[in-house]
Amino acid sequence: MLADAITPPMDRQRAQAIADTFDLRALPADFLANPYPVYAALREQQPVRRMPDGSVFLTRCADLMAVYRDAQAFSSDKHVEFAPKYGTGSALFQHHTTSLVFNDPPLHTRVRRLIMGALTRRAIAEMEPGLVSLVNQLLDQIAARGGGDLIEDFASAIPVEIIGNLLDVPHPDRGPLRAWSLAILGALEPTLSAQQEAAGNAAVTEMTDYLRTLVAARRRQPGDPERDVLTRLIQGETGGEQLSEVELLQNCIFLLNAGHETTTNLIGNGLILLQEFPAARAGLLHALQQTSGNADAEEAVLDRAVDEFLRFEPSNQLGNRRVLKDTQVGGVDLPAGTLVTLCIAAANRDPAQFSEPETLKLAREGNKHLAFGFGIHQCAGLSLARLEGRIAIGQFLRRFPDYRLSEAPTRGGRARFRGFLRAPFSV
């Protein structure tokens, strides 16, 4: 069955063997296909795993929460970590050490405040009609063809348009955005091939060159700062400090990337999980049928489902911090300078936090997953991502309740960002 091929099983002995020698720089193919048994073994036996390079790998939910809460002891700044990886003169180094997610206050605070000012509850609510219209257009095209690819024809097309709208990128210019995003984020993997590095540097350079032109045009003709994130970033805070040109350009790249692949993975993973778990799919379809006509109840059903997709198969599976002062996590001493990897995917299946964590329960209540992080670095666009996931998956299921995969889907083959490259289907 196709469902059996989506996430191949891994027996306990094999998972234990990988866990015993676990190294993010040398991950076998069967781990990338299904990392969860290995994460379970690490969480049970080595929750603070010392890695060959001296870093530590955390898998318990409580330990991740402790790190997220303590921004004084754990830094998100990546200058030290990324200098040997990319070289300090590279485009990738400049981008990743300037973007919101890989910085500490005060830069992080300034940029986040500007972005959040254009992502208010009202602003996001006003996006919903346009999002519904976009999704329905994509579904019309799929219906006319009798199917397509869940990723290329649906999941990836939605966030590109939404983030493009937020920055007011002209529609004819949006074609390269997905390829640029995949190349830049692909360079964040624990190991980096020469080809990945070259593609990532080229993507940053090309994207920066394009954005300079876009920023110059927006300076001449500003948009509505209540809805146009680029205009907000250009104008800065009233009476406050403005972003430098480098900060501005690199955080525009960050916005396009952060809002793109993670949301693509959320939508794609969710629709493919429903193929892998037919009982969960039947339950969700039944719940939607029962709440049809009651918009609030239907929205609640889909919101719970989206959060469970994010818990069970988080789009971004790994985070990183650097220890600023001698401290402890999980009873283990961590000296200043230690690099820490936060395994969100393992924490999201921690039985100490979630009942039946290996079961996809789309009606799960009180789902305090860490797919969006926590603390000062919690995802700034989480409300928008949830809206995109709810509308995309809900509209898709209403239109094509009997959709089915026509081929086994192709995973992205990455440890940090978990999603699919292709997923052919028919309706």
* Whole-number Å distance between alpha carbons of 383 and 119: 8
* Whole-number Å distance between alpha carbons of 243 and 251: 10
DSSP, collapsed to helix, strand or coil, labels residue 402 as: coil
Q: Decide: 163 and 258 in contact? Cβ < 8 Å.
A: no
> The tokens of 66 are what?
């402790």
Question: Could you give the C-alpha distances from 218 to 26, 223, 389, in angstroms and in order?
Answer: 45, 7, 30
* Whole-number Å distance between alpha carbons of 403 and 275: 9
What's the whole-model pTM score? Answer: 0.94
* Whole-number Å distance between alpha carbons of 183 and 126: 31
The mean per-residue pLDDT over the stretch 413-421 comes to 95
* Whole-number Å distance between alpha carbons of 407 and 240: 54
Please give the pLDDT value at position 329: 97
Tens-digit pLDDT profile for residues 98-113:
999 999 998 898 888 8
Q: Judge whether residue 237 has pLDDT over 70.
A: no
Q: CB-based burial of residue 224 (10 Å sphere; 0-12 exposed, 13-18 middle, 19+ buried)? A: exposed
> The tokens of 236 are what?
């800065």
Q: Decide: 419 and 315 in contact? Cβ < 8 Å.
A: yes
Q: Judge whether residue 89 has pLDDT over 90.
A: yes
Element spanning 183, H or E: helix 177-186
* Whole-number Å distance between alpha carbons of 418 and 163: 20
Q: Judge whether residue 416 has pLDDT over 90.
A: yes
Exposure b/e, 344-368, CB count within 10 A at least 16 = b: bbbbbbbeebbeebeebbbebeebe
Mean pLDDT of the chain: 94
Tens-digit pLDDT profile for residues 151-201:
999 999 999 999 998 888 999 999 999 899 999 999 999 989 999 999 999
Upper half-sphere CA count for residue 34 (Cβ side, 13 Å): 15
**Which sequence spans correspond to the domains of the chain?**
2-426
Please give the pLDDT value at position 121: 85
Q: Which residue has the tokens 């676990």?
A: 22
Q: Which fold has domain 2-426?
A: Cytochrome p450 (1.10.630)
Length of the chain, please? 427
Q: Decide: 55 and 338 in contact? Cβ < 8 Å.
A: yes
Q: Judge whether residue 337 has pLDDT over 60.
A: yes
Q: Judge whether residue 68 has pLDDT over 90.
A: yes
